[in-house]
Amino acid sequence: MNVLVVEDELKLADGMSRFLTYSGFEVTVAMTLSEAKQQLHQRFDAVLLDVRLPDGEGWTLIPTLKAQHPTPAIILTTARGEADDRVFGLELGADDYLVKPIVLKELEIRLKRLVKQTDMIQFGALTIDVKSRMVQENGHPLRLTNKEYELLLYLWKHVGEALDRNRLLDDVWDYAFVGDTRTVDTHIKQLRDKSPTLKEQLKTVHRVGYRLEGLS
């Protein structure tokens, strides 16, 4: 589970990052609103959003987060006297809030409750069942090889990103794999041939690699 921690208190940000990393989360830290916006090129399952930041109010980021696909879970972190900010944030679409000082175990429980490891992923007409590794499109099963499935899942986790062929080789195939970037091209072609959705949304990025475009 990928989590973005937006928190300007260095000690608290470090504490949350260490604890969540130890608990099995992948954590990115941003200490300002500007830094948080720069991180939104990647997909997060959850965002811990401090209401008061040096360069603005954290809740101003909520509409941008809600417009993402898929939408991350949003947990506001506030000081005790910021009840109005909590209410406003919830009205904008935040899913939960925590009052400082934060109990880290409570944070972990709330995160796992809000973002249960996704067993079913919906991407347009495509449905990916993570537990069974089965993929359907418009209710019809797609027969994917193991590597085609792993490549599809990786592309979905990095939707909107231009992915270099060598990065795909490193991350989807193991480092001991003996082959070249033509292997990636072959698997991309096979995915496009098997899925009308991927034929439309899986774009070639000239001289770079591929990008799975998000659905509007």
Contact 19, 27 (CB under 8 A): no
pTM passes above 0.75: no
Residue among 49, 70, 71 nearest 61 (CA): 49
d(CA 68, CA 58): 17
Contact 49, 107 (CB under 8 A): no
Residue 134 has pLDDT above 70, yes or no: yes
Residue among 100, 95, 102, 80 nearest 19 (CA): 102
Q: Do 135 and 200 have their domain in common?
A: yes
Give pLDDT, residue 149. Answer: 93
Give pLDDT, residue 179. Answer: 66
Q: What is the pLDDT of residues 55-102, one digit of tens each?
A: 998 889 999 998 887 788 899 998 876 677 778 888 888 888 888 889
d(CA 12, CA 2): 18
Token reading at 88:
């406003």
Contact 99, 121 (CB under 8 A): no
Residue range 8-21: average pLDDT? 93
Give 140's pLDDT tier (boundaries 50, 70, 90): very high
Range of the structural domain that residue 136 is part of: 120-212
Last residue of a domain, one of 114, 146, 170: 114
Give pLDDT, residue 22. Answer: 86
Lowest mean pLDDT: which of 114-123, 176-185, 193-202? 114-123
Give pLDDT, residue 49. Answer: 94
Q: Do 89 and 69 have their domain in common?
A: yes
Report how many domains make up the chain.
Answer: 2
Give 178's pLDDT tier (boundaries 50, 70, 90): low
CATH number at residue 98: 3.40.50.2300
What sign does the dihedral 75-78-83-85 (CA atoms) show? negative
Give pLDDT, residue 158. Answer: 81
Give pLDDT, residue 177. Answer: 59
Token reading at 138:
């418009």
Collect all residues with Cβ–Cβ distance below 8 Å to 126 and sequence separation of at least 6. 135, 136, 137, 195, 197, 198
CATH number at residue 141: 1.10.10.10
Q: What is the pLDDT of residues 16-60, one digit of tens each?
A: 999 998 888 889 999 999 999 999 988 888 999 999 899 998 889
Q: Do 68 and 145 have their domain in common?
A: no
Q: Do 89 and 55 have their domain in common?
A: yes
